[in-house]
Structure 1
Amino acid sequence: MKKFLVPVLVLSWLFVSCQKEEVAQKPNILFIMTDDHTQQAIHAYEKGLLDSVYFPNMDRLAKEGALFKNSFVTNSICAPSRAVLLTGKYSHLNGKVDNVGPFNWDQMIYPKLLQEGGYATALVGKIHLGGKPQGYDYSLTLPGQGNYYNPEFIKNGEEELKFQGHCEALIPQFVVDWLENDWDKSKPFAINYHPKAPHRNWMPEEKYLSYLENKEFEFPENFFDGYEGRGTAAREQEMEIVDNMYWGWDMKFEENPFTGEPSRLAAPFARMTEEQMEAWNEVYGPANEQFLKEFAPGDERITALPDSVALAKFMFHRYLRDYLKVVKSVDDGIGKVLDYLDTQGILDNTIVIYTSDQGFYLGEHGWYDKRFMYEPSLSTPLLVRYPKEIKAGSVVEDMVMNLDHAPTILDYAGIEKPGDMQGESWRAIAAGEDSPWRDAIYYHYYEYPGPHSVKRHYGVRTDRYKLIHFYYDIDEWEMYDLENDPGEMNSIYGDPEYAEIQEMLHTRLEELREQYGDSDALNQQYIDRSLSKN
């Protein structure tokens, strides 16, 4: 028997070596998801509003990888979008249709499959789903929305820790720390790196308080939108910059400049150190004092009626500048993590995916926030770098959804997706392969009655047309020709010239609802659940 011992040992060594080589060759996965970032705020998307504002690390991903022009979400609101990401299922099947109801972590999510497939997994930053995260070897997450300054984090779903500093400087450092100290390097890694920014209330990092303060921006063409040509939903929303933003939370005033009433400001500012507050007041104090002199002089402020365009200009700029300031910090963080991977020699074996949980309004229609199926909030950035498969500077025209990210990540990891995942892997189209792909996407928003008063609606979008059904307390349809009306200013529903297209969209909508398992009966279940909570 001894003569067989050496060959057996050699074969065993070769088998183990092959296994290690296979693990070593599996790509790492860095999935970066911001909160409320929008395509209009990335120069590479060439949307026009921010032509002279660059975020070099985001642009680097576009230059060195692929930019997806038609990337969409299935439900444009934070927690439901994150649930779709993890499960690869629509909201009505994963159970998280709004920001209110709980998320079931016990269901199958892609990080669990990565763990089973030999990946070291970590979640750092914002998840906004409540409960104890599953599927991760390590997690360090913001509770709820989290705070910009001196935030608390929850370690592994149990231990609360407080840190001094700005969350957009802390989160990328935590990612690097995990890679440096805790990553089991015998395994490939898969990290969910989730910044808080640019979610409201846009409190910039100290070093960027003055960034863009002297920069002037043009209003979007439809900023002063009267909502003619559309139905009830666009008129009755409560997400207008001028009428619905808070003077404290959003505009950073200690009191309403026209009424003298205390503003919703104390909570976030109370977290700041004296040094942080001093830096803040050095920039915002003089600007606010100048505003008061111009718009609300002395005791006349209660009856003062400021020029509406001038007031809108101030509020638009205060909002947009603060939004871009926190995005600047996010871009720095991305650069920090990319540079670390580069110095370790593992960047090119890492799939880097950058996206956001939905798009956002930067003054289009006079709005901020998201929720609607209109383009600025339906669309979301998607930039992917992986030089082993993706040609630098690629542009992908096909329509992808956040529903597709979980199947794609599993595809790259060599893991078969579960049969009940509804998305499809975009790996082949990112690589430039001629692959069959969808011709339409389906959308459904549920959170009404709720913040910002955006009506419940669902709809279908093709490469050119969009059909939306607003329901619950209204029954209205809207339809848009995105080629002739990219701003979605005039619904063509019922226009005889579009009768055949309208019929086609109705048919396609019902096909998609059946394909994805949505129905009026399910709608009613979620309506009843919502009413029972109220």
Structure 2
Amino acid sequence: MSDVNELNNKVSVAGRGEVSRRDFLQGSLAVAGAAAVSAVVAPPYAEAQTKQKRPNLVFFLGEGQRADALSIAGHPLLKTPNHDRIGREGVRFTNAFCTNALCAPARATALTGMYSRSTGALDNKNGNIPLASDIPLFTEILQKEGYEVAVLGKVHTRNGVEERNWDYYFGHNNPGNDYANPLFKEGRKGKVGPQKRYEGVYPDDLTTDRAISWIDEDRGDKPFCVLIWFVAPHEPFFRARRHADLYNGTPIAKPATFDDDLKGYPGKPKSFVDAENKLGTTSTHVACGSLEGVAKDYYAGLVAVDENIGRVLNHLESKKILDDTAILHTSDHGYFLGEWRLFDKRLMHEPSIRVPFQVRYPKRIPSATVREEMILDTDIAPTLLDLAGVPVPEHMQGKSILPLAKKNNPDFRKEWYYEYYEWPNPEKVAPHRGIRTEQYKLIQYVLDPSEGELYDLKADPGERNNLYGKPEQAVLQSHLTERLNVLRAKVPERKEAGQV
């Protein structure tokens, strides 16, 4: 029993749950959703305004930006001074993660504060089917509190959430768009017009132009919340013309596991080995021909993103409202850049699930704060509501990270649940689920329950020594499996017609 007690101490869940605070039936979610929107109205916006003016909100969402793809995080090549400013003048988290490493479901989670399992937005399929109308977006809650809200750029979630009541919409529901001649839809006050092509303009530059113009509109004393969601550096990784020769002649280091395929992928299960998300060998992703090509294009795309973030920060500063504006930056998921010769995301390995997460708001967040607590994408919506002084609805499955800006909390989150659903998919990445604690990670493959991966992340941060199925790890594996099942059961499941 002493072994089990020791393991419980290491990986036990502590404090308030980081999944659903209440189990709820799918049939009652409509009531819960409607109540969530109405319940946050008190205190009334006008009353709150007399006490303290609420901040404007800017939410920068990166596309596939790895946690280490920042110069403030120590990247040896990439320079991101404007990203870095947010972290340097605010709080930066070194252990932030997504709960489903795929574009559309991750973006639904960012908007709702709920797991994919609960939103029903499991994968990149059903792109024209809206999110369930009884699930409120955090932006709709803010509107009830007097905010004007806008979303611009790569929305890429269920129906691009076009049917929701945006004060301004300038977005596309495409994973990569057309970098040379991008396509956008535009609309106001809940009415979105037809798709239009814009010739010869880099999509994120246009997104930023429109965002700045919208920020400048006269809205009286009403605060604004603007979501600026970039498409770069998504495949096919096209560059802005100004960066066409960036990184020419610069060597790209090969990850330590790049040649593991030549050794038969030691320790990895068949579900991992059979996936076709390998650089240089996939006919469905012709832009992913080489490590050097993908890495340099990826970094060049992030340089363009950094420039556009800088444009927004400088504009807010010129208007003398930067410090009255709370700024949150994170990404939908990470990205493999040659680890195990992989590209893309999906898998529950660290390059894929780790994301940057930083917030600047000097009125509530001390500068140069760095925290190590585990933060999830389910925490985005609660954090933005908290920044606005709006109560977080009970149905949201994350929690605000703002208390951590003032004081660290080792018990903030001890473990969390991950699930990847899409199957089939162009890369043949098998569905899987898992649990990650501060020290351990367990991955279970759904199509073949006998397959799995287990890592001691402190001893093996590169996830090279798979402990799954080893007799000496039986107690640990059994305990993590039990905890995984408990966490999964606590996340309410929304099933749609035809879903098994």
Instruction: Sort the Cα spacing of 1:364 and 1:526 in 2 relative to 1 into closer, same or farther, 3 A.
Output: farther
| Structure 1 residues 435-464: Cα deviation after superposition (integer angstroms, max 9, x where no partner) | 851200100000022121111111100011
Pairwise CA distance, 1:17 = 9.0
**One-letter identity of the residue aligned with 2:97:** F
Partner of 1:320: 295
Given the alignment of the two structures, is residue 373 of structure 1 paired with residue 348 of structure 2, yes or no? yes
Pairwise CA distance, 1:417 = 2.2
Partner of 2:125: 100
Instruction: Sort the Cα spacing of 1:332 and 1:16 in 2 relative to 1 into closer, same or farther, 3 A.
Output: closer
Equivalent residue for 2:255, pick from 187, 212, 220? 220
Identity of aligned residues (%): 33
Q: Which moved more, 1:351-360 or 1:408-417?
A: 408-417
Instruction: Sort the Cα spacing of 1:18 and 1:506 in 2 relative to 1 into closer, same or farther, 3 A.
Output: closer
Q: Which moved more, 1:425-434 or 1:458-467?
A: 425-434
Instruction: Sort the Cα spacing of 1:16 and 1:388 in 2 relative to 1 into closer, same or farther, 3 A.
Output: closer
**One-letter identity of the residue aligned with 1:78:** C
Pairwise CA distance, 1:503 = 2.8
Partner of 1:403: 378
Instruction: Sort the Cα spacing of 1:245 and 1:205 in 2 relative to 1 into closer, same or farther, 3 A.
Output: farther
Partner of 1:209: 244
Contact 2:45–2:146, Cα closer than 8 Å, also in 1:
no
Given the alignment of the two structures, is residue 161 of structure 1 paired with residue 196 of structure 2, yes or no? yes
- Where does 1:440-451 land on structure 2 (aligned, <5 Å)? 440-451=415-426
Partner of 1:419: 394
Q: Which moved more, 1:171-180 or 1:469-478?
A: 469-478
| Structure 1 residues 363-417: Cα deviation after superposition (integer angstroms, max 9, x where no partner) | 1111110000111111111121111222222111111110111111112212222
TM-score (norm 2): 0.84
| Structure 1: 5+ residue stretches without partners | 1-14, 252-314
Equivalent residue for 1:516, pick from 491, 494, 497? 491
Partner of 2:167: 137
Q: Larger helix proportion, structure 1 or 2?
A: 1
**Count of residues in correspondence between the two structures:** 443
Contact 1:172–1:337, Cα closer than 8 Å, also in 2:
yes
CA RMSD of aligned residues (A): 2.2
Partner of 1:239: 277
Alpha-carbon separation, structure 1, partners of 2:284 and 2:411 = 47
Partner of 2:18: none
Alpha-carbon separation, structure 2, partners of 1:517 and 1:379 = 24
| Structure 1 residues 510-531: Cα deviation after superposition (integer angstroms, max 9, x where no partner) | 221122235xxx7xx689638x
Partner of 1:342: 317
Contact 1:360–1:369, Cα closer than 8 Å, also in 2:
yes
- What is the DSSP-based 3-state SS (H/G/I as helix, E as strand, rest coil) of the residue aligned with 1:244? coil
Contact 2:72–2:80, Cα closer than 8 Å, also in 1:
no
Alpha-carbon separation, structure 2, partners of 1:90 and 1:16 = 29
| Structure 1 residues 319-359: Cα deviation after superposition (integer angstroms, max 9, x where no partner) | 11111111111000000000000111111121111111100
Alpha-carbon separation, structure 2, partners of 1:527 and 1:54 = 47
Q: Which moved more, 1:242-251 or 1:344-353?
A: 242-251
Instruction: Sort the Cα spacing of 1:459 and 1:17 in 2 relative to 1 into closer, same or farther, 3 A.
Output: closer
Given the alignment of the two structures, is residue 119 of structure 1 paired with residue 150 of structure 2, yes or no? no
Partner of 1:170: 206
| Structure 1 residues 31-89: Cα deviation after superposition (integer angstroms, max 9, x where no partner) | 0001111123212223xxx4132111112222111111111111110000011111111
Contact 1:27–1:350, Cα closer than 8 Å, also in 2:
yes
Partner of 1:529: 499
- What is the DSSP-based 3-state SS (H/G/I as helix, E as strand, rest coil) of the residue aligned with 2:478? helix
| Structure 2: 5+ residue stretches without partners | 1-43
Pairwise CA distance, 1:496 = 3.6
Alpha-carbon separation, structure 1, partners of 2:45 and 2:457 = 56
Contact 2:117–2:491, Cα closer than 8 Å, also in 1:
no
Partner of 1:179: 215
Pairwise CA distance, 1:192 = 0.7
**One-letter identity of the residue aligned with 1:151:** P
Instruction: Sort the Cα spacing of 1:125 and 1:16 in 2 relative to 1 into closer, same or farther, 3 A.
Output: closer
Partner of 1:81: 106
Alpha-carbon separation, structure 2, partners of 1:116 and 1:105 = 19
Alpha-carbon separation, structure 1, partners of 2:252 and 2:234 = 21
Pairwise CA distance, 1:420 = 1.5
Contact 1:111–1:135, Cα closer than 8 Å, also in 2:
no
| Structure 1 residues 169-196: Cα deviation after superposition (integer angstroms, max 9, x where no partner) | 1111111010113x51411111111011
Alpha-carbon separation, structure 2, partners of 1:247 and 1:110 = 35
| Structure 1 residues 90-128: Cα deviation after superposition (integer angstroms, max 9, x where no partner) | 112111101002331523111110000111101011111
Instruction: Sort the Cα spacing of 1:341 and 1:330 in 2 relative to 1 into closer, same or farther, 3 A.
Output: same
- What is the DSSP-based 3-state SS (H/G/I as helix, E as strand, rest coil) of the residue aligned with 1:40? coil
| Structure 1 residues 468-495: Cα deviation after superposition (integer angstroms, max 9, x where no partner) | 1101255422210111111112210233
Pairwise CA distance, 1:246 = 5.9
Alpha-carbon separation, structure 2, partners of 1:396 and 1:53 = 22
Contact 1:429–1:435, Cα closer than 8 Å, also in 2:
no
Given the alignment of the two structures, is residue 29 of structure 1 paired with residue 60 of structure 2, yes or no? no
Partner of 2:83: 58
Task: Give the greater-gyration-radius structure (CA).
Answer: 1
| TM superposition outliers: structure 1 runs of 4+ over 6 Å | 15-18
Contact 1:89–1:423, Cα closer than 8 Å, also in 2:
yes
Instruction: Sort the Cα spacing of 1:382 and 1:133 in 2 relative to 1 into closer, same or farther, 3 A.
Output: farther
Q: Which moved more, 1:354-363 or 1:153-162?
A: 153-162
- Where does 1:232-311 land on structure 2 (aligned, <5 Å)? 232-244=270-282, 248-250=286-288
- What is the DSSP-based 3-state SS (H/G/I as helix, E as strand, rest coil) of the residue aligned with 2:334? coil
Contact 2:56–2:225, Cα closer than 8 Å, also in 1:
yes
Q: Which moved more, 1:486-495 or 1:242-251?
A: 242-251
Alpha-carbon separation, structure 2, partners of 1:39 and 1:213 = 24
Partner of 2:21: none
TM-score (norm 1): 0.79
- What is the DSSP-based 3-state SS (H/G/I as helix, E as strand, rest coil) of the residue aligned with 1:171? helix
Alpha-carbon separation, structure 2, partners of 1:434 and 1:474 = 36
Alpha-carbon separation, structure 1, partners of 2:406 and 2:194 = 42
